[in-house]
């Protein structure tokens, strides 16, 4: 969820408050409650985004550690295929067309481009999590002894 969208919605609500209350105290009290609610909604939204990114990272790490070749490599293979289409359309095809050689651009539906963006984003999050997890030294915490 977009935090800016949340902030904009609450800003519109707060602007409408000035004409609704007869006293400054009532208006300020109501605005304070709305601002507190805005903080809670934004915090929940950020927590949701964080959990979503963690789940995406967990999926990619699980795929990378999978038993079969296909499970470990389907995402990179798909990403490389999409990158090959982009390279053809924006590098290879224009140069071949300039030289008068027969060439044609390949169709890249919007959905595939979006999938590539999601895949690359997930890969970056997953690799970052792997590197961080590998560099952290997890030591067991000993329970304090009772005297």
Same domain, 36 and 82: no
Residue 130 located in a structural domain: yes
Look-up of token digits 């909604």:
41
Which domain does 32 fall in, by range? 1-54
Residue 140 located in a structural domain: no
Rounded to a whole number of angstroms, the CA Rg of the chain reads: 26
Looking at 13, 29, 54, the residue that finishes a domain is 54
Mean pLDDT of the 107-116 span: 84
Residue 144 located in a structural domain: no
Q: What is the pLDDT of residue 50?
A: 86
- Residue 94 predicted with pLDDT over 90: yes
Q: How far is CA 33 from the centre of its chain?
A: 30
Same domain, 78 and 99: yes
Look-up of token digits 């904009």:
8
Residue 61 located in a structural domain: no
Number of domains in the chain: 2
Same domain, 130 and 108: yes
Same domain, 71 and 131: yes
The pLDDT tens digits for 30-89 are: 888 888 888 888 888 888 888 888 887 788 777 778 778 887 788 788 888 888 998 999
Same domain, 21 and 41: yes
Q: Report which secondary-structure segment, H or E, holds 65.
A: none
- Residue 22 predicted with pLDDT over 60: yes
- Rounded Cα distance between 54 and 11, Å, is 30
Q: Report how many helices (DSSP H) and strands (DSSP E) the chain contains, helices first.
A: 5, 0
Mean pLDDT of the 116-138 span: 62
Same domain, 1 and 28: yes
Q: Report which secondary-structure segment, H or E, holds 133.
A: helix 110-135
Same domain, 50 and 80: no
């Amino acid at each position: 969820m977009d935090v800016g969208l949340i902030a904009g919605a609450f800003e519109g609500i707060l602007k409408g408050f000035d004409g609704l209350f007869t006293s400054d105290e009532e208006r300020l009290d109501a605005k304070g409650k709305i601002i507190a609610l805005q903080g809670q909604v934004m915090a929940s939204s950020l927590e949701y985004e964080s959990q979503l990114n963690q789940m995406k990272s967990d999926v990619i790490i699980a795929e990378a550690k999978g038993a079969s070749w296909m499970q470990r490599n389907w995402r990179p293979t798909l990403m490389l295929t999409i990158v090959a289409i982009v390279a053809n359309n924006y590098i290879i095809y224009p140069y071949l067309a300039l030289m008068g050689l027969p060439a044609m651009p390949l169709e890249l539906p919007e959905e595939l481009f979006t999938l590539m963006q999601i895949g690359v984003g997930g890969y970056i999050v997953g690799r970052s999590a792997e590197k961080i997890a590998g560099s952290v030294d997890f030591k067991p915490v000993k329970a304090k002894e009772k005297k």
